[in-house]
Amino acid sequence: MSAERVIYAADVVYNGVGLPLENAGVLVSSTNTIVAFGKLAALQIQFPEVKTQRLGQAILPRPVNAHTHLDLSQVPFKALPYPRWIPEHIISNQALRGLEGAKIGLEVLRQSGIGTFGDIVYSEEVMKFVLSESELAGVAYWEVLNPMPDQATDIMTQTIERIKGWRKLENNIKIGLSPHAPFTVSSLLLKQLSGFAKLEGLPMQIHVAEHPSELELFRTGTGTLAKSVQKSGFPAFETSWGRKPDPDLTPVKYLAELGVLEAKPTLIHMVNVTEEDVKIIAQYGCSVVSCPRSNFNLECGNIPWKLYAKYGVELALGTDSSASGETLNIREEANAALKYLEIDLKHVVRWAVKGGYRALGIKAPIIQRGDDFSSLIVWE
């Protein structure tokens, strides 16, 4: 705390409203109270007697890690093309997945200074742990993965029972639902899960259009992802999806066709999309979470963020698991976005704050005059 008033300056300053300001500052009183936000030049003209202290690249509210898999925190990082990464790395390291990883991951998140997070949860013990132990607010999305249509009813009954039981434990953490991906959950189950989520007001996340081979799968039924899922014992696509692949089909159009987008799920990755896909999700009001490091490491490509901006789709930032995204640190993810996506810091800061809260369905903090400066953090 300074004994005098001071203007704290940074390349980007954000109070949570609209777009972050570039070359801006925060005027802070001797008691560390925020007096004004503004462009640095304007603040310096208005308060000529006040000294300026540069704090770093960005001053912002606590950011959001909108997509994690905490239970994979003990699985080592490995870069591999996505169709190989799940069978060769995640399934072969299944013994390292679970509660111990989730404990480590949650502690890493807590220490990283974020405001909230969205985690994909794959086991009951991890769900109970996150619900009862997390001091951080967030959403724990129960992940469902099952491509067998003849098992859809049983899985749905089991999912409803589990979620009803857990809802009594909701406190800092809200329960959500995550059908894993359009090609790993049968169309019957996808319809039932999204219908249930809509009815119960459960937030949803789905991994969509992650690797180029996912688009190829929906268009042709062939390619590296098609081979990988066939090897894993998935049924024929017509059986699981209730329709054939089609040259005009995309994972997004398939979800729209099934009515899944009516539940307004937050869509994760969305790298390999068409302009029509982006228009469709804009109409439904879906948010998108980008995980640039994971996309790079699994050879998925870069998210076409300008296309999303064109149609007003809100983007958020997530680290994915540390097994594909390297760390659970959202600041490091923001640096990766700057490196891979040719994007300005002000956009990335908005993704990390406003976009993140929107993706999770949690009200974003708005920092105002009169608030303590410690309600903001600094990216040096």
**Can you give the binding site for Zn ion, defined by CB under 5 A?**
320
Smallest gap, in angstroms, from Cβ of residue 375 to Zn ion?
30
When the beta carbons of 314 and 320 are compared against Zn ion, the nearer one is 320
Smallest gap, in angstroms, from Cβ of residue 370 to Zn ion?
39
When the beta carbons of 70 and 349 are compared against Zn ion, the nearer one is 70
The 3-class SS string of the chain reads CCCCCEEEEEEEECCCCCCCEEEEEEEECCCCEEEEEEEHHHHHHHCCCCEEEEEEEEEEECCEEEEECHHHCCCCCCCCCHHHHHHHHHHCCHHHCCHHHHHHHHHHHHHCCCCEEEEEECCHHHHHHHHHHCCCEEEEEEEECECCHHHHHHHHHHHHHHHHHHHCCCCCEEEEEEECCCCCECHHHHHHHHHHHHHHCCCEEEEECCCHHHHHHHHHCCCHHHHHHHHCCCCCHHHHHCCCCCCCCCHHHHHHHHCHHHHCCEEEECCCCCHHHHHHHHHHCCCEEECHHHHHHCCCCCCCHHHHHHCCCCEEECCCCHHHHCCCCHHHHHHHHHHHHCCCHHHHHHHHHHHHHHHHCCCCCCCCCCCEHHHEEEEC
When the beta carbons of 57 and 112 are compared against Zn ion, the nearer one is 112
When the beta carbons of 71 and 320 are compared against Zn ion, the nearer one is 320
Candidates 124, 133, 170, 210; catalytic one:
210
Smallest gap, in angstroms, from Cβ of residue 211 to Zn ion?
12
CA distance 380 to 376: 13
Smallest gap, in angstroms, from Cβ of residue 8 to Zn ion?
35
Question: Of all residues in this chain, which one has the CB nearest to Zn ion in the complex?
Answer: 320
When the beta carbons of 181 and 376 are compared against Zn ion, the nearer one is 181
Smallest gap, in angstroms, from Cβ of residue 294 to Zn ion?
7
210 annotated active-site: yes
Smallest gap, in angstroms, from Cβ of residue 75 to Zn ion?
13
When the beta carbons of 320 and 333 are compared against Zn ion, the nearer one is 320
Q: Give the active site residues.
A: 210
